[in-house]
């Protein structure tokens, strides 16, 4: 099969389109023919060696995929050849930990494309326990934009953020894959939503997703948020940026508000002022990725038309390096996919 292989860490150019051996499904596994693979910012950081340099090279990146079942391993009975499926992006490698709640707390939990070869290939092998029928009703290249942003956004907004109808929500990086999903999920719950963007040209795109207000990150978004809410502040902040953005977000948060942190694109450390946290009884809640239930809930919102994919651009699998250049340049409005 053809795959996009990284043999060393570095820039986008280290991704090479090469012939490799097609994997075979083992016991309890399914072989999936990849129809489309999502490209996430995580892939960019893994390729650059910014998160870990412990990948077993050569390596195939990619956590998100939509495809059809090509073959079944011994004991795999949940699917039939030809079924269109998608894959939970993160799961425990140890089958004994499959009932952890949340799943991301399992000791052997990993994200597809880190400990195992991922979706940047014509075929991939996955334990059937972490495969689900693609019920989105979308074209494969649209559906492939969903898994990681969808389970992360649903988890952050619903389970961890506890967003309720009538609440006010601020979503950072609203034009990103996770941000765009978070806006739509919060709106589906009946919340009023504002969002931040890193570049002004993305503002209209974010408004179309349902954000009432859009604030540039370069400006005082906390002050603008307070003005929007009549001085009250928002009930929930969804932050996938981290760093000083997390610190500044506390000023936008209402008393008893919840700040959900799920990323550190703009820094892994933040200074926390104790007084507003203490006297305002504000909460900071961390989350990683969602479980199968979050994926199922997300797909139901997609089927109902309440959440729509935000496909920005497609590249061929052979152009994976160009896709990474596009992601790294901050040009994407929504998600990017690869087509084998």
Contact by Cβ (8 Å): 169, 189 = no
Claim to verify: residue 86 and residue 137 sit in the same structural domain = yes
Alpha-carbon distance of 297 to 292, in angstroms, equals 9
CATH number at residue 249: 3.90.180.10
pLDDT at 137: 92
Claim to verify: residue 260 and residue 170 sit in the same structural domain = yes
Contact by Cβ (8 Å): 92, 86 = no
Could you tell me the two tokens for 277? 């946290």
Alpha-carbon distance of 237 to 255, in angstroms, equals 12
Which structural domain range is residue 41 located in? 2-146+309-339
DSSP bridge pairs for 281: none
Give domain status of residue 29, yes or no. yes
Task: Pick out the chain residues at pLDDT < 50.
Answer: none
Alpha-carbon distance of 130 to 32, in angstroms, equals 12
pLDDT at 334: 76
Claim to verify: residue 162 and residue 111 sit in the same structural domain = no
Give domain status of residue 296, yes or no. no
For residue 31, what are the CA distances in angstroms to 6, 36, 167, 252, 339? Answer: 22, 15, 44, 47, 17
Claim to verify: residue 19 and residue 109 sit in the same structural domain = yes
pLDDT at 225: 98
Give domain status of residue 292, yes or no. no
Give domain status of residue 180, yes or no. yes
Claim to verify: residue 335 and residue 272 sit in the same structural domain = no
* Single pTM value for the model: 0.93
Could you tell me the two tokens for 98? 């499959």
């Amino acid at each position: 099969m053809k795959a996009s292989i990284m043999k060393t860490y570095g820039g986008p150019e280290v991704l090479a389109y090469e012939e490799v051996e097609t994997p075979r499904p083992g016991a309890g596994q399914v072989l999936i023919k990849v129809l489309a693979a999502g490209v996430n910012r995580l892939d960019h950081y893994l390729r650059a060696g910014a998160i870990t340099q412990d990948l077993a090279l050569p390596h195939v990146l990619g956590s998100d995929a939509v495809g059809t079942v090509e073959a079944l391993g011994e004991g795999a009975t949940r699917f039939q050849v030809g079924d269109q499926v998608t894959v939970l992006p993160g799961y425990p490698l140890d089958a004994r930990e499959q009932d952890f709640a949340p799943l991301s707390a399992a000791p052997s939990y990993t994200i597809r494309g880190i400990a195992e070869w991922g979706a940047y290939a014509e075929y991939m092998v996955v334990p059937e326990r972490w495969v689900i029928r693609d019920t989105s009703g979308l074209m494969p290249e649209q559906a492939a934009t969903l898994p990681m942003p969808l389970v992360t956004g649903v988890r952050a907004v619903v389970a961890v953020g506890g967003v309720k109808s009538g609440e006010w929500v601020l979503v950072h990086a609203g034009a990103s894959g996770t941000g765009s999903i978070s806006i739509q999920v919060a709106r589906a719950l009946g919340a009023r939503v504002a969002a931040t963007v890193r570049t002004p040209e993305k503002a209209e795109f974010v408004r179309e997703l349902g954000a009432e207000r859009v604030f540039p990150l370069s400006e005082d978004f906390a002050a603008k948020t307070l003005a929007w809410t009549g001085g009250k502040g928002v009930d929930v902040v969804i932050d996938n940026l981290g760093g000083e953005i997390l610190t500044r977000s506390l000023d936008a948060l209402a008393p008893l508000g919840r700040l959900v942190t799920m990323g550190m694109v703009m820094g892994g450390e933040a200074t926390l002022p104790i007084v507003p946290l203490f006297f305002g009884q504000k909460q900071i809640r961390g989350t990683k990725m969602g479980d199968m239930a979050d994926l199922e809930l997300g797909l139901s919102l997609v089927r109902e038309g309440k959440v729509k994919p935000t496909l920005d651009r497609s590249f061929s699998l052979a152009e994976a390096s160009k896709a990474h250049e596009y992601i790294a340049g901050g040009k994407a409005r929504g998600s990017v996919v690869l087509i084998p």
